[in-house]
Amino acid sequence: MGAHESKKLLRLTATEARRALAAGDFTSEQLVGAHLERIEKRDPDVHAWVRIDAERALEAARESDRRRASGEAMGALAGIPVGVKDIIDTKDFPTELGSPIFAGRQPAADAFVVSSLKAAGAIILGKTVTTEFAFFGPGPTRNPHDLERTPGGSSSGSAAAVADFQVPLALGTQTAGSIIRPASYCGVVGFKPTFGYVSRAGVFAQSAPLDTIGGYARSVEDIALLMDSISRFDVRDRDMTTGAKPLLAQAAAMARERPPRLAIVKTPAWPQGDDQMRASFELFASTFKGTVEVTEADLPAGFNKIIRLQQIVQFSDIARNYGPIAKAHPDRVSARLKEIISEGSSFSAQSYEDARMKQETLYDALRPILVNHDAILTPAAQGIAPTGLQATGSPMFNGLWTYLGMPCISLPLLSVQAMPLGVQLVGARGDDARLLGIASWMMRERGRRG
């Protein structure tokens, strides 16, 4: 396959590639091969991957092609390459958690989401870089739009790999802002579903009341395809929501009967956003006025402390889960992690329980906004990706929504200084399908307006 044909394959979304594979336009081996060539060329600069097994991926692709040629029924992701964040267990690859302490750690079994990807026919290319224990300690990944800038964290490698056309889909996780912020910085679609939507069995735990699995893609339809493939019920995760889930792919593709009603919410973090972000966001929101019912909504009383409440839960659990690791290996964890473990240890059990209780109290207080609007429109990050690789940026525009267990999506709709900047949509708990439908509408509408 020539360079031009290979480039065309890389630019396909997963949804487009799925249709073309079914039509026999090319093979999975050709699709996977094109992505492996891209990784070989670009990843020495981007550093999105911890580990790739090219031969294993190509053999899996050839097997997918054989099954398709024999007339077998194919899964929703059959022949499509996917990246997996390196806190998610894989029996075919070490899972090292972004730390030298766990170098060479080899799980005996796949995480539930990895088993689900394989059952859907996906080709696992390898493991993407995570920050140290999926927290603040940065890994080597660089932002593909500007190699001197951070890609964000903690799902650094997954966001950068999708943004750089090294893979069309990748898994990430979020406990504060670890999916949405990298999506904004890297200019891709990043989705964190409702808390409990996807099983975390086989995923390294940071904070059980907050940890959520989501993913990255270059279209809303692709995100829906990915999430539909991994969101089956799993009894091992006690926080999983029960009941039937609507097909997200169907919701994302459906034409809306009316424009959505959006509430602009600036949150307590708004003053900390940089001037260019705030100006760009307000200009963007104003472009929909007259076509969409867009109203500014103030958060109810009590939300001024919500960022700290999220930190109390997250940091307390980090102290409980990571404290013993840091104590056993004091010279192999970052100073920042030690600081957070110390801070988390300082919170009383009562403070933790109060912060947990207020998750429901504050969500209930938000219901009037959610009842009267289809989604919340809010910034995805403080600004564009900061220069330097010593930090991964602040999650202050994301942590409150994670704390409340609400589905969030970052859409690559803004640009400042030739760098991408996301717009965040937030939905009511369990309203993931409607949220993706609105996100898909917004992407189409923005494209129509240029």
The dihedral formed by the CA atoms of 17, 20, 25 and 27, expressed in degrees to the nearest 10: 50
Q: Residue 343: is it exposed, middle or buried by C-beta count within 10 angstroms (0-12/13-18/19+)?
A: middle
Asked if the model's pLDDT at residue 447 lies above 70, the reply is no
Q: What is the pLDDT of residues 7-21, one digit of tens each?
A: 899 999 999 999 999
Alpha-carbon distance 447 to 443, whole Å? 6
Question: Which stretches does DSSP call E strand in 90-135?
Answer: 123-128
Asked if the model's pLDDT at residue 362 lies above 90, the reply is yes
Tokens linked to 391: 């930090």
CA-nearest of 355, 345, 349, 353 to 318 is 345
Alpha-carbon distance 376 to 427, whole Å? 6
Which one from 178, 184, 199, 280 is the annotated catalytic residue? 178
pLDDT the model gives residue 5: 83
pLDDT the model gives residue 293: 85
Calculate the CA 19 to chain-centre distance. 24
pLDDT the model gives residue 446: 76
The residues near 151 (Cβ < 8 Å, ≥ 6 apart) are 48, 141, 142, 143, 144, 157, 159, 160, 163, 182, 185, 186, 385, 392
Q: What is the pLDDT of residues 283-327, one digit of tens each?
A: 999 988 777 889 999 999 889 999 999 999 999 999 999 999 999
Please give the full DSSP string across 132-186, using - where no structure is assigned: GGGSSS--S--BTTBTTB---SSSHHHHHHHHTTS-SEEEEEESSSTTHHHHHHH
pLDDT the model gives residue 6: 87
Q: Where are the domains of the chain?
A: 3-252, 306-346
Alpha-carbon distance 203 to 265, whole Å? 32
pLDDT-derived band at 448 (thresholds 50, 70, 90) equals low
CA-nearest of 231, 222, 149 to 182 is 149
pLDDT the model gives residue 101: 98
Instruction: Return phi, psi of residue 354, to 5°.
Output: -60, -40
Residue-averaged pLDDT of the chain: 96
Query: What is the side-by-side strand order in the sheet with 123-128?
Result: 49-52, 123-128, 81-85, 169-174, 212-217, 189-192, 408-416, 419-426, 375-379, 261-264, 293-296
Which one from 85, 127, 245, 266 is the annotated catalytic residue? 85
Alpha-carbon distance 405 to 109, whole Å? 28
Q: Does the annotation mark 178 as catalytic?
A: yes
- The pLDDT > 90 percentage for the chain reads 93
Q: What is the pLDDT of residues 340-356, one digit of tens each?
A: 999 999 999 999 999 99
The percent of the chain in helix, strand and coil, each rounded to the nearest 5, is 45, 15, 40
Q: Does the annotation mark 351 as catalytic?
A: no
pLDDT the model gives residue 449: 57
Q: What is the pLDDT of residues 68-96, one digit of tens each?
A: 999 999 999 999 999 999 999 999 999 99
Instruction: Return phi, psi of residue 220, to 5°.
Output: -65, -40
CB 444 within 8 A of CB 259: no
CB 57 within 8 A of CB 125: yes
- Determine the Cα angle at 174 with ends 171 and 375, to 5°: 100
Hey, which CATH number is domain 3-252, 3.40.50.300, 3.60.21.10, 1.10.10.10, 3.90.1300.10? Answer: 3.90.1300.10
Q: How many residues does the chain have?
A: 450
Q: What is the pLDDT of residues 224-270, one digit of tens each?
A: 999 999 999 999 999 999 988 999 999 999 888 788 999 999 999 99
Asked if the model's pLDDT at residue 50 lies above 70, the reply is yes
The residues near 86 (Cβ < 8 Å, ≥ 6 apart) are 50, 51, 95, 96, 97, 98, 127, 128, 129, 130, 157
Mean pLDDT of 278-284: 96
Q: Does the annotation mark 127 as catalytic?
A: no
Which of 188-192, 241-245, 442-446 shows the highest mean pLDDT?
A: 188-192
How many CA atoms are closer than 13 Å to the CA of 379, on its beta-carbon side? 30
Q: Name the helix (H) or strand (E) containing 6.
A: helix 3-11
pLDDT-derived band at 450 (thresholds 50, 70, 90) equals low
pLDDT-derived band at 1 (thresholds 50, 70, 90) equals low
Asked if the model's pLDDT at residue 276 lies above 70, the reply is yes
For the question of whether the overall pTM of this predicted structure is more than 0.95, the answer is: yes
Amino acid identity of residue 86, one-letter, is D
- Determine the Cα angle at 319 with ends 390 and 343, to 5°: 70
Which one from 28, 154, 219, 229 is the annotated catalytic residue? 154
